[in-house]
């Protein structure tokens, strides 16, 4: 029976260690992304932060979050907003308007590709 508890304890400790390591890697990559996203930070300061992250890992991560955490959030929100705006603009550009769809259907009707009934259904669909 003691072997079971020892194995269970080792398994729980391993799972906890893996969880902490994955969490730290997520924080580390978030910090690195933020360092390179910040345009107000000079190149030397970026190099210093990266150097410290490599050699003084946990302390630097904690200090970075405490010192630059609010700006980190603001930059992430601004980036997400910019990405959403770009995606919305792209969707609007490729979606087309109902007038465009009706014009395409009319050109198909004029070319004889579709019948008048099909044109009417496409027109109704575009206007709905």
Per-residue pLDDT of the chain (128 residues; tens, 9 = 90+): 567 777 888 899 999 999 999 999 999 999 999 999 898 999 999 999 999 999 999 999 999 999 998 999 999 999 999 999 999 888 877 777 788 888 888 898 899 889 889 989 988 888 87
Tell me which residue has tokens 């579709």: 114
DSSP state of 114: S
Tell me which residue has tokens 């730290």: 24
Distance CA 98, CA 6 (A): 69
Residue 45's pLDDT is 94
Residue 6's pLDDT is 79
Residue 1's pLDDT is 54
Instruction: Provide CB contacts within 8 A for 60, sequence distance 6+.
Output: 49, 52, 53
Residue 60's pLDDT is 94
So where are the chain's domains? 2-68
Distance CA 45, CA 34 (A): 13
Look at the pTM and tell me if it is higher than 0.75: no
- Residue 76 to residues 42, 69, 73, Cα–Cα distance (Å): 19, 11, 5
Residue 98's pLDDT is 82
Are 64 and 31 in contact, with CB atoms under 8 Å apart?
yes
Residue 34's pLDDT is 92
Residue 49's pLDDT is 95
Distance CA 105, CA 121 (A): 10
């Amino acid at each position: 029976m003691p072997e079971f508890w020892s194995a269970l304890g080792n398994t729980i400790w391993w799972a906890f260690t893996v969880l902490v390591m994955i969490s730290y890697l997520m924080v580390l990559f978030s910090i690195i992304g933020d360092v390179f996203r910040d345009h107000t930070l000079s190149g030397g300061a970026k190099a210093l932060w990266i150097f410290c992250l490599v050699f003084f890992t946990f302390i630097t991560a904690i200090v970075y979050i405490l010192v630059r955490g609010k700006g980190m959030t603001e930059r992430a929100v601004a980036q997400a907003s910019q990405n959403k705006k770009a995606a919305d603009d792209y969707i609007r550009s490729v979606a087309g308007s109902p007038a465009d769809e009706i014009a395409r259907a009319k050109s198909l009707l004029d070319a004889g590709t579709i019948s008048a009934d099909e044109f009417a259904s496409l027109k109704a669909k575009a206007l709905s």
